[in-house]
Amino acid sequence: MALILECVIVMLLVISLFAVLGLVLVLMERKVAARMQIRLGPNRVGPKGMFQTAADTLKLMMKEGLTPDGADKFLFNLAPFVVMIAAMLIMAPIAFAKGFQIWDINIGVLYVSAVSSVSVIGILMAGWASNNKYSLLGAMRSGAQIVSYELSAGLSIISIVVLSGSLQVSDIIASQQTGWWLFRGHIPAIIAFVIFIIAVTAETNRAPFDLAEAESELTAGFHTEYSGMKFALFFLAEYINIFIVCAIGATLFLGGWMPLHMGHWEGFNHLMDYIPSSLWFLGKTFFLIFLIMWFRWTFPRLRVDQLLSLEWKYLLPISMFNLLLITLIAIMGWHF
C-alpha cells in the first residue's frame, strides 16, 4: 500500500514538474531570444508577459486534435506518448538535490544513454504513421541525427565514468566532492564537456542542428500532421529533453547538487554549503540550458552533409582521442 502511494506521489511530482518546465522553458526561450535580437519578446499577458505560455497552452488544449485520413491511426496517436514516456523514464536516475532521487540504480548513466535512444522510435513512429512524405523525411533526418550524435555524447559520458570509476549517479556526484570534473580533469575534461554540449544540442534537434524542421522543404518535420494537444506533447517533450540533457551534463561535469568547493578556502566552502543543494542543481542545469539557447540564437544552421561530416569527421575522432587521454589521466592519477 505504501509502495503504491509512493508511486502515485512520484508520478504526480514528475507530471507537475513536466508541466512547470514546459511553461518556464518556452517562456525563457522566447525571452532569451528576444534579448539577443534586441527586442522585447512576449510582454502582454500578465506582468512582463509571464503568463504568455500558460495562455498558449490553454489555446492548444482547446484546438481540435486532427488525425489525417490516410494515417495509421493507432501509431499516429501512440507516437507522442512514446516520446513523452521516454522523456519521463530518463528522469528516474537524476538527482535533483541531496538525497532527492527517484531511483538510484547502479547503472544510472548507462540507463540514461540507453533510454534516451528510445525517443527516436517515437519520432520515427510519428513520421511514418502520418503517411506524409515531409513527415517521413523529417523523421528520417531526426533519426539519422540522433543515432550519429549519440556516439560522441556517449563517449564523453564514458570519459566521466572513467574518471569517477562508477556508473551510479550518486557515486559520480559523490566523487566530485572536492571539485567538479570539468575543472579536475584538465583540458581533456573540458573538451569532453564541449563535445557533450554539441552532441546533446544535436540530439535534442535544436538549432543549429534543427534539420528535421525545415519550413521551406519539410514544413515542420515529423510533427507536420499533428495538431492540438498531440502537437503540444511533442513540443513539450522537446523542451523536457533539453532540461534532461542539461541535468545530465550538470551531474556529470558540474557536480550535480554538489556546491562549488575551492581547495582549502574553508570560509568560502562553508559559505557555499549554505546554499541549498536543489538550488545548486537547478542553477547549473539552467546555466547549461541558457548556453544551449545562446547557441540557438547565434549560430547559423548546418546543411545535412555538414551535420554528418561534423559528427563523423570531427567530433567522433576527437572524442575517441580525448577518451584515450582521459583514461591515461585516470590511470596515472594526474587529475586533482
Partner 1 sequence: MAFLKEYISEVYHAVSSLLKGMRTTGSYFVRPKEIITQQYPDNRADMKIPERFRGEVVMTHDENNEHACTGCTACELACPNATIKIVTKFDTTPEGKKKKALDTFVYHLELCTMCNLCVEACPTSAIKMAQTFEHSVYDRNQLLKKLNNPGSKLRAGVE
Beta strands in the chain (DSSP E): 95-97, 100-101
51 in contact with partner 1 (CB under 8 A): no
CB of 32 to partner 1, least distance (A): 7
Positions in 316-335 near partner 1 (CB under 8 A) = 318
CB of 35 to partner 1, least distance (A): 5
Neighbour-count burial of 202, counting CB atoms closer than 10 A to its CB (0-12 exposed, 13-18 middle, 19+ buried): buried
Q: What is the spatial distance between Cα 298 and Cα 32, in angstroms, rounded to a whole number?
A: 11
For partner 1, the binding residue among 8, 13, 16, 37 (CB under 8 A) is 37
Q: Residue 184's closest CA among 207, 159, 167, 203?
A: 159
The dihedral formed by the CA atoms of 156, 162, 164 and 170, expressed in degrees to the nearest 10? 60
Residue 129 or 195 having the CB closest to partner 1: 195
Q: 109-115: which pairs have CB atoms within 8 A and are 24 or more residues apart?
A: 109/157, 109/160, 109/161, 109/167, 109/168, 109/169, 109/172, 109/252, 110/167, 112/157, 112/248, 113/150, 113/153, 113/154, 113/157, 115/86, 115/89, 115/90
Choose the binding region for partner 1 from 11-19, 117-125, 297-305, 322-330 (rule: CB under 8 A).
297-305
All three cell numbers of 42, joined, read 512576449
> For partner 1, what does the binding mask look like between residues 190 and 229, x meaning CB under 8 A?
----------------------------------------
- Report how many residues bind partner 1 under the rule CB under 8 A: 15
Residue type, 155: L
Q: Residue 299's closest CA among 200, 209, 204?
A: 209
286 in contact with partner 1 (CB under 8 A): no
For partner 1, the binding residue among 38, 62, 331, 332 (CB under 8 A) is 38
303 in contact with partner 1 (CB under 8 A): no
> For partner 1, what does the binding mask look like between residues 242 and 281, x meaning CB under 8 A?
----------------------------------------
Residue 299 or 334 having the CB closest to partner 1: 299
CB of 199 to partner 1, least distance (A): 15
Q: What is the spatial distance between Cα 128 and Cα 111, in angstroms, rounded to a whole number?
A: 27
287 in contact with partner 1 (CB under 8 A): no
Q: What is the spatial distance between Cα 27 and Cα 29, in angstroms, rounded to a whole number?
A: 5
50 in contact with partner 1 (CB under 8 A): no
309 in contact with partner 1 (CB under 8 A): no
297 in contact with partner 1 (CB under 8 A): yes
Q: Would you tell me which residues interact with partner 1 (CB under 8 A)?
A: 32, 35-40, 43, 294-295, 297-299, 314, 318
